[in-house]
Structure 1
Amino acid sequence: MSRTVYVNGQYVPEEDAKISVFDRGFLFADGVYEVTSVLGGKLIDFAAHATRLERSLGELQMESPVAKDELLEIHRELVRANDITDGLIYLQITRGAADRDFAFPENATPTIVLFTQSKPGLANSPAAQTGIKVISIEDQRWGRRDIKTVQLLYPSMGKMMAKAAGADDAWMVEDGHVTEGTSNNAYIVKGNTIITRHLGNEILHGITRAAVLAFAREAQMKVEERAFTIDEALQADEAFITSASSFVMPVVEIDGTGIGNGEPGSVAQRLREIYLDESLKKAV
């Protein structure tokens, strides 16, 4: 049975979904996206994802083809139509189809596409119990990483570099400091302090990041938002990442060197527990 996807106002079987070959998302990566997790049939952090979507669109001088309330209903309908208990919903909005020209077209109609991925047991990933391994690579992305655009080629290359090295992911480094993972925000823990890169154009303003840091502060954990180096990370007591699809995931090895005792740390484990518990209470 094929999935039902949403394309420009219509729910269609995935094999019938079509967009123009002149769509600027295809020609220029001229578009943005969001990923919302589904747990127990409900959407996690939807409002925050919708707000970030509006910001990304605004930074690219684009408008959403649907209102926020309608967007929520589209998400819910896709969960229902595809019988998603645990999984992900991907949303992409591009500037639309127009004859190829580097200049933005004046009258193009935005393209909107949503589709689901079923991920049974998403919150119970075995990796959360064992931790993941990362390598460090040079950050060669464009400068506006705070905009969640569909231009993901270098992060994909980073994932492949990690795979070739026998690792799970890569942490990107710019001017000697870690920016973020290929599809996640990066953290280290030293003593009782959680350290993660400060917000700016250099990193994505992670929705899970914001929630986890808020929960950490509520739990009386100390948080420092500043840049850190790989050397500092290697001397940390523990490390972890956050993202909409992995929630809070311990990192146990960087560039072949074990972090702390080489096992998932107590701070990461506790934050994962808090995040899942609290997010499920607020899920829609």
Structure 2
Amino acid sequence: MSRIVYVNGEYLPEEDAKISIFDRGFLMADGVYEVTSVLDGKLVDFEGHAVRLERSLTELDMAAPATKDELLAIHRELVERNGIVEGMIYLQVTRGAPGDRDFAFPDPEETPSTLVLFTQNKPGLADNPAAKKGIKVISIEDIRWGRRDIKTVQLLYPSMGKMMAKKAGADDAWLVEDGFVTEGTSNNAYIVKGRKIITRALSSDILHGITRAAVLRFAKEAQMEVEERNFTIEEAQDADEAFITSASTFVMPVVEIDGAQIGTGTPGEVAPRLREIYLEESLKAAV
């Protein structure tokens, strides 16, 4: 059965969904996106994703195509129509299709934003086997543009980073700028030393992760110590544990960085416990 997707006010079979070749998301990567996980048929951290979407649109002076309540209704309708129990919903907003290519922004009164959403069915998302054995990462230079706090669709270099990791026999890459880890290709990065969780502080250098915010809040509630500061790859290799967070991986242990084993080379105590807490609490609050 074909997926039902959403395009500019219409629910359509995916094969019938179309946007203009002049859409600025296609021509200029002039767009932003969010990915919301679905567990037990409910949306995880929807409020946080909606707030971050609004911020991204504001930072790029892009018109919002729908209200938060309207977006929630669309998400729920797609979950229902596609029978999603575990999976993800991808949402993308672009500056629209002005009818021709031009570097200048079109007038939002004349060119409405494009809004697209689709589901991805991912059975077993919460019970990912990788979480039990951990993943391997490599380090690469961070050469992305400077506003990584805006969740844009400019994902070429993160995609290249993932392919570099695959070529090296690893699962992902951590990005390094001026000697310090910024984040992963599509996730926030952490190390654990002496049971202290260390992660880079929020700035325009990294994405303000919705899962990051929730995990750090849960960690503090569990009386875990959190320190927000820069760290190097060498410090990470000498850590007791390392892990990443994102909307699709939740909390994922990292057991190797650039070929160096982290701790015992297996997931430690902190990351698995944080994953357990996050999944438990997020399911309670899911909508």
Counterparts of 2:75 and 2:268, CA distance in 1: 35
Separation in 2, partners of 1:253, 1:281: 33
Structure 1 segments, 4+ long, off by >3 Å, are none
Other structure's SS at 1:252 match: strand
**Correspondence for 2:126 among 114, 117, 123:** 123
Aligned pairs for 1:1-284 within 5 A: 1-98=1-98, 99-106=100-107, 107-284=110-287
Deviation track 1:73-124 (CA, whole Å, cap 9, x = no partner) reads 0000000000000000000000000121111111311000000000001000
Distance 2:144 2:116 in 1: 25
Residue ranges of structure 2 left out of the alignment (5+ in a row) = none
Q: Is the 8 A contact 2:219 2:226 kept in 1?
A: yes
Q: TM-score, normalised by structure 2?
A: 0.98
Cα distance between partner residues in 2 of 1:233 and 1:274: 24
Shift of 1:192: 2.0
CA deviation after TM superposition for structure 1 residue 175, in Å: 0.3
Q: Aligned residues, how many? A: 284
Alpha-carbon distance in 1 for matches of 2:202, 2:47: 20
- Return the alpha-carbon distance in structure 1 between the equivalents of residues 182 and 274 of structure 2: 21
TM-score w.r.t. structure 1 length? 0.99
Q: Which amino acid in structure 2 is aligned with residue 104 of structure 1?
A: F
Residue type at the aligned position of 1:11: Y
Deviation track 1:63-82 (CA, whole Å, cap 9, x = no partner) reads 21111101000000000000
Provide the C-alpha distance between the structure 2 equivalents of 1:28 and 1:174, rounded to a whole number of angstroms: 25
Supply the distance in 2 between the matched residues of 1:134 and 1:33 (Cα, whole angstroms).
25
For 2:279, what is the secondary structure of its paired residue?
Answer: helix
Inter-partner Cα distance in structure 1 for 2:251 and 2:217: 13
d(CA) in 1 for partners of 2:64, 2:48: 16
Distance in 1 (CA, whole Å) between partners of 2:116 and 2:217 is 31
Secondary structure at the counterpart of residue 126 of structure 2: helix
What letter matches 1:265 in structure 2? G
**Contact 2:45–2:286 (Cα < 8 Å) also in 1:** yes
1:173-229, CA deviations, whole angstroms, 9 ceiling, x for partnerless residues? 000000000000000000021000100000000000000000000000000011100
Q: Distance in 2 between matches of 1:277 and 1:114?
A: 27
Q: Distance in 1 between matches of 2:67 and 2:148?
A: 25
What is the Cα deviation at residue 233 of structure 1? 0.2
Residue deviations 1:4-58 (CA, integer Å, cap 9, x gap): 0000000000000000000000000000000000000000000000000000000
CA distance in 2, matches of 1:63, 1:281: 33
How far apart, CA to CA, are the structure 2 residues paired with 1:65 and 1:263?
A: 45
